[in-house]
Amino acid sequence: MDQQAPFRVALADWWSDTDAIRQVRTAVFVAEQGIPAALEWDGLDADCDHVLVRAAGGLPVATGRLMADGRIGRMAVLSPWRRRGIGTLLLEALLEQARARAMHEVYLHAQVEVAAFYRSAGFVAAGQPFTEAGIRHVSMRCPVG
């Protein structure tokens, strides 16, 4: 994975990195966005590839996952760490993992308010906005290769 000081971006192992991944996702999705924990913890994590971004000193600050069907999801950056390029590093690492898995396309459900971020990375909206977990989303796709 790409490295950019002061952040370390790496594939994570769900079983050994569960606490760090849960810490970030709980802070962003459950506490900040009000998503019910039962929706956030969908039981699919053990079958996904995870990326974890740590700041200097090892503090987990961002995470995301790639499902076997090519869906990128659960991208989360802790609030104090946003607008520092961490989301871009995280997305690049997930796209790199998709290429390593010989995927030709990935997709995601982007929150409407951050869809421009994904558009800037080459994602294209597919369909009309919809509500998921009480938040407006749009399905987006991106070729990888």
Q: Give the span between the Cα atoms of 7 and 42, in whole angstroms.
A: 28
Is 116 inside any structural domain?
no
Q: How do residues 62-78 score in pLDDT, each as one tens digit?
A: 999 999 999 999 999 99
In a domain, 43, yes or no: yes
Model pTM?
0.92
Residue 40 lies in a domain: yes
Decide if pLDDT at 2 tops 70: no
Identify the pLDDT of residue 1. Answer: 43
CA pair distance 50, 75, nearest whole angstrom: 10
Q: Give the domain CATH number at 89.
A: 3.40.630.30
Give the closest residue to 9 by CA, choosing from 74, 97, 69: 97
* Structural domain of 91: 8-103
Q: How many domains does the chain have?
A: 1
Does the residue 131 lie in any domain? no
**Looking at the domain assignment, is residue 82 inside a domain?**
yes
Give a yes or no: residue 84 inside a domain.
yes
Paired tokens of 144: 């990888």
Does 77 map to a domain?
yes
- Tokens representing residue 83 in the block: 């607008």
Residue 143 lies in a domain: no
Q: How far apart are CA 108 and CA 130, in angstroms?
A: 13
* Strand 49-54 versus strand 8-12 pairing type: antiparallel
Strand partners, 138: 110
For 120-143, write each residue's pLDDT tens digit: 999 999 999 999 888 999 999 999
User: Rounded to whole angstroms, how far apart are CA atoms 66 and 55?
Assistant: 21
